Structure formats: structure tokens, C-alpha cells
A and B are shown apart, each in its own frame.
Chain A
Amino acid sequence: MSTKHADLVLTNGRIYTVDAVEPWVEAIAIADGRILARGSATEMSELAGAATRIVDLNGHFAMPGIVDVHNHVVMGGQAELFELALPRDARLDAIIALVREAAEKAEPGQWILGAAWGADAISELDNSAALAALDAASLGHPVCLRDETAHNRWVNSEAMRLSGISETTPNPDMGSFGRDAATGKLTGMMIEAAAGIVERVASTHFTEDMGIAAAAQAIKTLNSYGVTGFLEAASMQSVMAAVHGLDQRNALSAWAVMAMPAVEPNFLFGLAGDELFALRENYRGPHVKPDFVKIFLDGVPGARTAAFHEAYLEDPIHGCCFRGKTMVTYPDLVRWLGKCEAQGLAVKIHCAGDAAVSQALDAIDVVRSFNGPTDLIHHIAHASYIHPDDYKRFAELGVAADLSPMIWYPTTFLEGHRAVMGTERAEKFWPNADLIKAGALLAGGSDWPVIPNPDPWNGIEGLVTRENPSGAFAGQALWKEQAVDVATAVAIFTINSAKAIGIEALTGSLAPGKSADIIVLDQNIFEVPANRISRTQVLTTYFEGRAVFERA
């Protein structure tokens, strides 16, 4: 045992290390932000010197910090800090009142951004009278309000003026401007691609300081849920600048891995691909690792934009045999993967449908066959609809299954999938146990803010129960056979995610030499009934041995 004195000893705990060598210990000694040793309370007390701080865990359960394999921290922080929160059931009058309240407090010229109005409110908002009410309430500020699908926006006249949209502007490709049924005048409703026109203008008012503030807010939120490492899954230059800026201020209390989009996504703006990759070293920092690329290969099942082997149910727009399609051609995907591997970049590939998964695996197989093996772990993001023949290929190709967002239990998402592909197929969703059996690396994530908060305890409970932790859809489970045990679920959200994003040597388990990223919980998640895991509260979050969150 080392003769070095610890700076901090956490003792008298029930500490789960996520390390098979020594899964449970009583105490952990920390020096210089790293784990010095682990063991019994007596052993660790021997490492304490006069200056060592001793923290009595009072028998509480502790474990490694959570690693979120897929989130969008700046968007999450932005939503918390700078967006007007609209209740999902808010109707016209309530929305107008909230906008007026925000406008009264806003600085001159400031955009008022808000989310999310319910998709079922559209007819109430999509008319001239509603726009007039919105214009009056906004007191001259530009206003842009997102719907819950994130595909559409309702904006005011000032926002349209700033975006160059007038009565004579033609509809964009793949989108349209809402018009009043009686008068034919613009209503401020921006459908699909039209939303991007306004968002692009609104985004120019988002300053670097606001980005850093959003990142700071997001990290605070993550730490409060016990998250001490993550992969940001759409790292535009502004996102990298924000996270890196926070690190430069010594305020980034989590490991941040950045995934730079190969192609500009339709909801974020700026450089992408080679031009963005070329800048990546500018944003590397002690805790920031711009070592991933993001490729969106398809869309989402609910909108019939995910690519499947079998056709969606017939509908008037797509007809009888529509299977969805991929947004990147197969040769282009192969080319991107080859190019990224040559630069030491791993690729997270968004694949919501099983055909997209097959194509991504095929492309990785091609690249590996021509270029030989690498240590890079590519990700199939949202690995949820997967052809059984593909299960074993994850392990063969060293590809990680990114489990996000946390909807591996009955949700409204699942209802949407049933509507487009029928119940039987829709429920073959998240074959987690089969993937584990086939040797795949499963890594847990949130996709926050696609879901309202990045709470991993919901995800862990859901992995075990396959039932909705909120109590919604009571009595229903989703493909119960795919449930995993608590230890596996914990590994999925710690060491597996750390391995998948390349920070396994730093974090993900409690072992000597690793960063002292430790969370103390209010309950032992191995002892409580599985359907209570989601109620877990983090008492203290340590990052590099510093308490970065403490529950009041």
C-alpha cells in the first residue's frame, strides 16, 4: 500500500466499485483528484495524515459517477436558461400570457425563444387572429416557439421580418409557411424546413457567453443527477467553444467527449465535416476530448423517416411500400468512416431503423476489411430496432450500442411507432438482453433535451423493469424478456459508456489511478425494489475528488 497520504478519505460506506476484482468496499482514499486506494475503513484510515479530510458516508451507498453516452448539453442548458418553458397542455391564451410576461422582462431586441407547445394546438395557433395576439404580447421582440416534435415553430411578425419572410416569399423545399384559411395571410406557423429559416437567424443572437452559461447550467444539472462524463452528440463549433470555454474557467466538472457533425444538421448551424474537424485541436482541454464524429443516417420511426427492412403501414402520403430511407449514401458512409478512422476519429451513427443499423454495420465491416482493425469504437446511436442477424455483428466489429433516449419501456414514442408499423413490430424495441448475449457493448445515454431531463435513474430502472418509471402505462411492460439485472444496468451507465467514449482509463469504475468521480446516493439501488430505483437522489457528486454537487 502506498505511503502517500490521502487528501480525502470517504469511509463507512457501501461502495460499489463496478470492478469485478473488488466489487464492494467500505472506503476510498483520494489524492490529487485520483483514487489512491480502496478497501476497508481500517485500511484506508492508515492513509490519512494530519491534513486529510475524512468524510463519513454513514453507511450510504456510493458508486462511480454516471457516464452519459449521448446528450446535447448546450441545448439542454440553453433550454433551462434562455427558453420560456411552455407547459405541454398550454393553449393560446396561456401561451400569449407567458410571452407577454417574458417580453416585459426582456432586454431591447432580445429574442424570446420558448418550448414546447403540444402538437395538437396547431389549429388554434395557425391563423391571423392568433398571430395578432402574439404580436401584441411580444412588445416588439422577435418570438420563436417550438412544438413538442421539434419539427415546427410558431413565430411572430417581427421574427419573420428579421428572417426575410414576407407574404410573397415562396415555401422552402421540404417545408411551408402557415397561412390563414380565410385571408391567406401568413400566420407565423413554420412547418418543417421553414422552421430552420427562423432558427438560423435566431441563432446568430446566441453569444459565446450565453453558450458558456448554458454549458455551465447543463453541467450543474448533470452533476445533480450524478453524471460526471458524457458525449455531446452534435458538437458544432459553438458547442465546442462553450464547453471548452467552461473548462478554461476550471468550471467543467465532467469529462466531455465531443462528436462533430459530418454534415450540418437541420437544427444546428455552422461549420461541419472536414472544416469543423480541422478546428478540433483548438477545443481540446484537460477535460474536453473532440474525438468523435456524428453522422445522421436516418430519421425517426414516428415520422416515417427511419429506414427499415420492412415497409411502414400504408398511408396516403407514402403509399403501401414505404420503408423510409437513409440520408447518407452507402459509398459516402464508407468514405466518411474511412476518412474519420484515418484521423483517429470514432463515429457515432444515428440509426433509428433496422435497415440503417444494417447499413452502418456493413459500412464499418467494409472499412475494417480494407483498412484493418483499429482501437476506435464506433457507435450505433439509438440501437433499438435491430434485425436479429445483426446482434452478433456489434461484437464482431467492436461497435457500441448507444442506448438512448431512455424509452425502453412504454411511452408516447412507442404509441407513435405502433401507429406507423403495427404493434407487433413496434414492440420489438430495444433487444438489450439479446445484444448482451451476443457480446455487444451496451452504453447508456439520455439524448437530453430530447427527453426533458438527463436523469439516469429512470433509465436504469427502466432497463431492469421495462415498465415506465413515472407510473404512466401502468401494468404494461415493453418486451419484458429483454430486461437486464441491476448490476448490468449500472455497468451500462458507467464503465460501458466510459469504454464506448474512450475514457475508460479515467473513469467509469472506482479503481486506483482513476479519477475520483464518485456519487453518494440516498438509497442502495441493489436493495430497493427495482420500481423504486428511479426515485434515487444523489446526495453528493465528487468529480476529481471535489464535491461538485451537494444536496441541500
Chain B
Amino acid sequence: MVEVTGKPLVPVTLVTGFLGSGKTTLLNRLLSEPALDGTVAIINEFGAIGLDHLLVEVTEERFALLDNGCVCCTVRDDLVETLKRLPERRPLTRVIIETTGLADPAPILHALMVEPELVATYRIDGVVTTVDAVNGLDTLARHTEARKQAGVADLLLLTKADIASPEAIVALHTALAGINGTAIRRAAEHGAVRMDDVLGAGAPRHLDHALASSKEAEHTCADPTCNHAGHAHHLSDIASHAFIIDEPVEWARLRQWLEHFAALKGADMLRMKGLVAIAEHPEAPLVLHGVQHIFHPPQKLAAWPSADRRTRLVFITRNIPRETIERTLKKFVGVSPAGIRSAA
């Protein structure tokens, strides 16, 4: 999220992806770029990264169950401590966090969204999820963790695209579009990705772009292999639902609706992003960002990123019908039935 006022926040890029999906190769490639001053990578273990001039922090996976028994709130104490200490120790312009292959990225995002010291220092720049183009489809079908990792992504990076068949790549694109229709998808061959490609993956302009360019997707479709985004007939329990609301909304009502959504469906809302035209000040949008039941304090942008000034909301959810979101938006936010449309 972009702070409109105050000191500049240090961007944090989260790199996640299933076991063997090429996270470390990606990280190696990124860290080999020359313009790395002030970048710190936080990894889980020393391994393939043999660039000893780099600033690398190592953390151990250590999970804590919170008092409320909610596993999804689990925050990695040591990671939080590491992030808190970093600015004291060195000049800092950017942080890249690599998770383990089986990690649920949500707790790390939660820590960045709710820990007061972290909120004051860092912003989430984006979540990059690596997906192996050869085995990815199978991994997504078999592993909940892999689907969640894809669900929270701002950028889905298809690795090993050079050795995968064109059919496999198409099928993977289709599956990923179903899970997370608004993430940027990009193929990487031999880890050939530049820092610039992954920076700012979560910026509002991407959301603006993704939804502005999408076509109407709400229609019935009998073809189970179709590659229309926004359908629920893909392999996954996880799906993305995007909405465009024509008229500005009342912030108090939307906020209460978001609270209800988080309270009742938080565990199944992997990620929520939104650009919102608020009735009280439609000249600039509010940026919303939620991970499960935690919402980042909404940020007011200085101006709309494009000429499109409609509210756009994206939900990556698990087993939540699109109809539930749409119906409750109409009922509790007072959106007129004609004023809401689905986007891919």
C-alpha cells in the first residue's frame, strides 16, 4: 500500500511458491543484478545462494499458535523480530522475503499489516508466486498450499517454461486464471526475470489495468475446458471474483460489510484488493487490501491511476460463491442491482 503522507516505507516483496517451483533460482537471478544497494533478502536457509557479498538474513520456521486458536493468524516471531531489527543495522531500500515451499504466505502478510512497528516501516510491494510450468498443474490439483500460494499472488511467475509443452502451459494458464484471475502472469525461461519485472506487482495500477481490460465474464458456460476467467468450473476450490460498481459507495457501509465478510468468511478469503470510489470524496480512490480476516488500514491515493473511476473489487476466495458476495454487497452496501457487474 502506498502511504500518501509521512516517511517513505520500505517495500517488501514476498516470494513464495511450492517445493521445487524455482524460488531459489529466481532469487539468485534477482540478487545477481547490480543495483542492489540497500536490498536485504530474508531466506529460510543458506543454500544455493553463494553470493557472499549479499546481505542475507536467515530465519527458521517457527510457528506460534495464538490465544484465539486461529492457525491462520500464526505469525513467525523470528521473522517479525528480524524485520524490526533490520533498519537499525543497515540502510534499507528494499526487502525480499522467501518463504519455504509449504508455507502459507498469509501469516507473513498479516504481520506486515498489523504489527505496529512493521506497519510504520514497511509496505507490501507485492507477492510473487513461482509456479512450475511442468508440474504446476498437478501440484495445484494435489496441494492446498500450492493453491493458496497462487491465490494470494500479485504476480504468477511460470518457471521452467522453456522445458514445458505448449499444451501444458496453456492448461496451467487456464487453471491459474480460474484461481486468481487478476494476478499478472508471466513466463520465465531459465530464471530470466529482471528485478523490474517483479517490482510493484501489487501496485494499484495493476489492479486498475487488470480490471479495466477484462471483459464481461458472467455468462453460463458448458465447456469445462474453456479458458474464460471468472468461471468456477476449474479444478480448484479457490477462485477469483471481481466486481465493478458504477456509483460511488458509502464508506461506512462498505467498511461494515468488509467487517462482516472478514468475521464470517475470513478464513476463506485468501486475498481481497480494491480501488474504491467513496461517495464522500470521489476525486481519489481508497485502496483496500485484505488477507483473510485482516485488512490493511485503507489508504487514500492522491489520484485515480486512470480515467476509469469506478469501484473495482477483487476477491480470491475458497468455496465462497460469487453470488454470496454480490448479494450481500447489494443488501448491506446498498449497491443498486443494475450498478454492479462482474469482471473477470
**Is B332 an interface position by the 8 A CB rule?**
yes
Chain B stretch 218-232: residues in CB contact (< 8 A) with chain A: none
Contact status A369-B327, CB under 8 Å:
yes
Considering the complex, give the chain B residue whose CB is closest to the CB of A363: B260
Contact status B264-A335, CB under 8 Å:
yes
Chain A stretch 343-375: residues in CB contact (< 8 A) with chain B: 366-367, 369-372
Contact status A334-B264, CB under 8 Å:
yes
Contact status A274-B259, CB under 8 Å:
no
Considering the complex, give the chain B residue whose CB is closest to the CB of A278: B69
A480 shortest CB reach to chain B, Å:
39
**Is A331 an interface position by the 8 A CB rule?**
yes
The residues of B that contact A371 with a CB separation of less than 8 Å are 264
Interface string of B259-290 (1 = CB under 8 A from A): 11101110000000000000000000000000
How big is the B interface, by class? 10 to 19
Contact status B69-A366, CB under 8 Å:
no
B140 shortest CB reach to chain A, Å:
27
Partner among B259, B324, B328 whose Cβ is within 8 Å of the Cβ of A331: B259
Interface string of B232-267 (1 = CB under 8 A from A): 000000000000000000000000000111011100
The residues of A that contact B194 with a CB separation of less than 8 Å are none
**Is A338 an interface position by the 8 A CB rule?**
yes
Interface of A, secondary structure class, is helix
**Is B84 an interface position by the 8 A CB rule?**
no
Contact status B69-A334, CB under 8 Å:
no
The residues of B that contact A274 with a CB separation of less than 8 Å are 69
Question: Assuming A274-B69, A369-B327, A370-B324, is B263 touching A338 (CB within 8 A)?
Answer: yes
Q: How many interface residues does A have (CB within 8 Å)?
A: 11
Contact status B332-A335, CB under 8 Å:
no
Chain B stretch 299-336: residues in CB contact (< 8 A) with chain A: 324, 327-328, 331-332
The residues of A that contact B259 with a CB separation of less than 8 Å are 331, 334
Contact status A370-B260, CB under 8 Å:
yes
Partner among B69, B263, B332 whose Cβ is within 8 Å of the Cβ of A369: B332
The residues of A that contact B264 with a CB separation of less than 8 Å are 334-335, 338, 366-367, 370-371
Contact status B331-A335, CB under 8 Å:
no
Bound complex: CA A337 to CA B328 (Å): 17
The residues of A that contact B327 with a CB separation of less than 8 Å are 369
Bound complex: CA A334 to CA B328 (Å): 14
Considering the complex, give the chain B residue whose CB is closest to the CB of A341: B264
Considering the complex, give the chain A residue whose CB is closest to the CB of B265: A370
The residues of B that contact A334 with a CB separation of less than 8 Å are 259-260, 263-264
B335 shortest CB reach to chain A, Å:
14
The residues of A that contact B260 with a CB separation of less than 8 Å are 331, 334, 366, 370
Considering the complex, give the chain A residue whose CB is closest to the CB of B321: A372
The residues of A that contact B324 with a CB separation of less than 8 Å are 370, 372
Interface string of A535-548 (1 = CB under 8 A from B): 00000000000000
Bound complex: CA A395 to CA B332 (Å): 20
Bound complex: CA A335 to CA B265 (Å): 10
The residues of B that contact A366 with a CB separation of less than 8 Å are 260, 264, 332
Considering the complex, give the chain A residue whose CB is closest to the CB of B263: A335
Question: Assuming A334-B260, A334-B264, A338-B263, is B69 touching A370 (CB within 8 A)?
Answer: no
B71 shortest CB reach to chain A, Å:
14
Bound complex: CA A372 to CA B263 (Å): 15
A287 shortest CB reach to chain B, Å:
31
Chain A stretch 52-86: residues in CB contact (< 8 A) with chain B: none
In the complex, which of the residues A335, A338, A367, A370 has the most CB atoms of chain B within 10 Å of its own CB atom?
A370
Interface string of A305-326 (1 = CB under 8 A from B): 0000000000000000000000
Chain B stretch 167-185: residues in CB contact (< 8 A) with chain A: none
Question: Assuming A369-B327, A369-B328, is B263 touching A331 (CB within 8 A)?
Answer: yes
Chain B stretch 60-107: residues in CB contact (< 8 A) with chain A: 69
In the complex, which of the residues B260, B261, B332 has the most CB atoms of chain A within 10 Å of its own CB atom?
B260
The residues of B that contact A335 with a CB separation of less than 8 Å are 263-264
Considering the complex, give the chain B residue whose CB is closest to the CB of A366: B260
The residues of B that contact A370 with a CB separation of less than 8 Å are 260-261, 264-265, 324, 328
In the complex, which of the residues A274, A334, A366 has the most CB atoms of chain B within 10 Å of its own CB atom?
A366
A370 shortest CB reach to chain B, Å:
5
Bound complex: CA A372 to CA B265 (Å): 12
The residues of B that contact A338 with a CB separation of less than 8 Å are 263-264
The residues of A that contact B263 with a CB separation of less than 8 Å are 331, 334-335, 338
Bound complex: CA A90 to CA B80 (Å): 64
The residues of A that contact B69 with a CB separation of less than 8 Å are 274
Bound complex: CA A334 to CA B263 (Å): 7
Bound complex: CA A338 to CA B261 (Å): 11
A347 shortest CB reach to chain B, Å:
14
Considering the complex, give the chain A residue whose CB is closest to the CB of B262: A331
The residues of B that contact A331 with a CB separation of less than 8 Å are 259-260, 263
Bound complex: CA A372 to CA B323 (Å): 11
Chain A stretch 264-288: residues in CB contact (< 8 A) with chain B: 274
Chain A stretch 230-280: residues in CB contact (< 8 A) with chain B: 274
A420 shortest CB reach to chain B, Å:
31
The residues of A that contact B328 with a CB separation of less than 8 Å are 369-370
The residues of A that contact B265 with a CB separation of less than 8 Å are 370
The residues of A that contact B331 with a CB separation of less than 8 Å are 369
A403 shortest CB reach to chain B, Å:
30
A407 shortest CB reach to chain B, Å:
35
Bound complex: CA A370 to CA B265 (Å): 8
Considering the complex, give the chain B residue whose CB is closest to the CB of A371: B264
B272 shortest CB reach to chain A, Å:
14
In the complex, which of the residues B260, B263, B327, B331 has the most CB atoms of chain A within 10 Å of its own CB atom?
B263
A-B contact pairs, 10 of them (CB 8 A): A274-B69, A331-B259, A331-B260, A331-B263, A338-B264, A366-B264, A369-B328, A370-B324, A370-B328, A372-B324
- State the 7 A-B residue pairs at the shortest beta-carbon distance, nearest first: A338-B264, A335-B263, A370-B264, A334-B263, A366-B260, A369-B328, A331-B259
> Interface residues, chain A, CB within 8 Å of chain B?
274, 331, 334-335, 338, 366-367, 369-372
Give 4 A-B pairs besides A370-B264, A370-B328 with Cβ atoms closer than 8 angstroms: A334-B263, A335-B263, A366-B264, A370-B260
